[in-house]
Amino acid sequence: MAKSVKVYSTSTCPWCIRAKQFLKENNIEFQNLDVSGDQLAADEMMAKTGQMGVPVLDIDGEIIIGFDKEKIKQLLGL
Amino acid sequence: MPIYDLIIIGAGPAGITASVYAARKKLDFLVISLDIGGQAAWSGDIENYTGYQFITGPELALKFEEHMRRYDTALREGEEVLEVKKSGEIILVKTNKADYQSRSVIIASGKKSKELGVTGEKEFKHRGLTYCATCDGPLFTGRDVAVIGGGNSALDAALQLTKIAKQVYIINNTVELGGDAIMRQKLQAASNVVILNNSKVISVLGDKFVSSIKIKSSDQEKELTVQGVFVEIGLTPNVAFAKDVEKNQKNEIKINLRNESSIPGIFVAGDVTDVPEKQIIIAAGEGSKAALSVFHYLSRKVF
């Protein structure tokens, strides 16, 4: 079964754009949460990670801070 | 171990352009870089790169990357160069993952944000303290923030934040703000900006996240309640791995008109060099010059 993937991002951050592009290239479906417009999403991200840097990826509950390509590949089995 | 013709360190505008030229000269080469796009990827709107009347930084960085990848260039992304050393006629490049040998090197490692060097800076990085207003600014909607610095990058960050944050403090350690007059005027017109000249940050305070900063203004210490701290005090060259090459007072690597450093075989291009003016288009041009100089160097020399 496909894993649930959430991306916490802002529209302007280059690493967010790269992370989302990487997921698209690999045909991974994901839910994008824009933390700049959505305070609830921002609070959720800060509670999960204890920090405010974007992007944050939540892959079936496993948290990745930043665009860590190797870790994303590993968790998604790419 | 193979000996490459060329190793390019960095994949910003300079490194990527060098790679395109090296590929077209059919050199046997490798690109090693922590990231792709360099500072260009972090820029907002770009309106002075010829051919694009308007393009954003991330978009231009993507175009650069596509251009590089057209040539099946060998790229080691996410790899950090720790040392570059000449040994006889060969240059040794040591990274956090492997050792390489090459007949020539182009250093195009660019610059990174300077740090404040105060208590709390490391602890609160990404916990309210950031070096990228473009990235993290939107997270501070309706909050009070401080921008540290007084040059164009600080003014740019402050202007972006006036539209997002509640109150924006600018902590500037000189008598008055620098930067472009047009940006200073825009800031003065904003209703939610307080400029504190002759002031410097002493420490960043908080619990889980930033809650205040301690500053010293004209010999008086005071505490400002802020949830965000944006450090914009300029840039410093990425040269820790290049100990042997000559540098200027700003720690930029000195080059001549052919992009040669003080060590034959080590060429340098872009913002990490002492060329006057740091621009994307200049870095790209310097990258092409460096690659052509490498080509001439390799064809003249017998290894």
Does residue B66 register a pLDDT over 80?
yes
> Which domains are present in chain A?
13-67 (3.40.30.10)
Instruction: Provide the token pair at B193.
Output: 């900006």
Q: What is the pLDDT of residue B211?
A: 97
Nearest to B135 among A21, A37, A54 (CB): A54
- Determine the average pLDDT of the residues in B154-168: 93
Alpha helix (H) ranges present in B10-56?
A: 13-24
SS3 B70: coil
Does residue B45 register a pLDDT over 80?
no
**Confidence at B34, pLDDT banded by 50, 70, 90:** very high
Cβ–Cβ of B127/A52 closer than 8 Å? yes
Mean pLDDT of chain B: 94
**Confidence at A17, pLDDT banded by 50, 70, 90:** confident
Residue A3, min C-alpha distance to chain B (Å): 26
Q: What is the pTM of this model?
A: 0.81
Q: Which has more pLDDT, B290 or B39?
A: B290
Does residue A12 register a pLDDT over 80?
no
**Confidence at A1, pLDDT banded by 50, 70, 90:** low
SS3 B293: helix
**Confidence at B43, pLDDT banded by 50, 70, 90:** confident
Cβ–Cβ of A10/B57 closer than 8 Å? no
Q: How far is CA B294 from CA B22, B38, B246, in A?
A: 9, 22, 19
Does residue B134 register a pLDDT over 80?
no
Q: What is the tens place of the pLDDT at every residue in A36-76?
A: 888 899 989 999 998 988 999 999 999 999 888 889 999 99
Q: Phi and psi of B268, rounded to 5°?
A: -140, 145
Q: What is the pLDDT of residue B46?
A: 83
Contacts A21 to B, Cβ<8 Å:
62
Express as a percent the part of chain B with pLDDT over 90. Answer: 83
Q: What is the pLDDT of residue B295?
A: 98
Write the DSSP assignment of B122-173 as a string of letters. Answer: TTTBTTTEES-HHHHGGGGTTSEEEEE--SHHHHHHHHHHHTT-SEEEEE-S
- Determine the average pLDDT of the residues in B107-129: 95
Residue B41, min C-alpha distance to chain A (Å): 6
Mutation pick from A9, A11, A13 vs chain B, by most beta carbons of B within 10 Å, is: A13
Contacts A69 to B, Cβ<8 Å:
77-78
- Determine the average pLDDT of the residues in B273-300: 96
Q: Which residues pair with B203 in a beta bridge?
A: B119, B214
Specify the amino acid at residue B23.
A
Mean pLDDT of chain A: 90
**Confidence at B89, pLDDT banded by 50, 70, 90:** very high
Q: What is the pLDDT of residue B282?
A: 97
B58 → chain A, closest CA residue:
A14
Nearest to A35 among B78, B130, B139 (CB): B139
Contacts A13 to B, Cβ<8 Å:
132, 134-136
> Which domains are present in chain B?
3-113+235-300 (3.50.50.60), 129-231 (3.50.50.60)
Beta carbons of B145 and B227 less than 8 angstroms apart? yes
- Determine the average pLDDT of the residues in B160-187: 93
Least confident of A4-13, B70-79, B287-296: A4-13
Does residue B229 register a pLDDT over 70?
yes
**Confidence at B266, pLDDT banded by 50, 70, 90:** very high
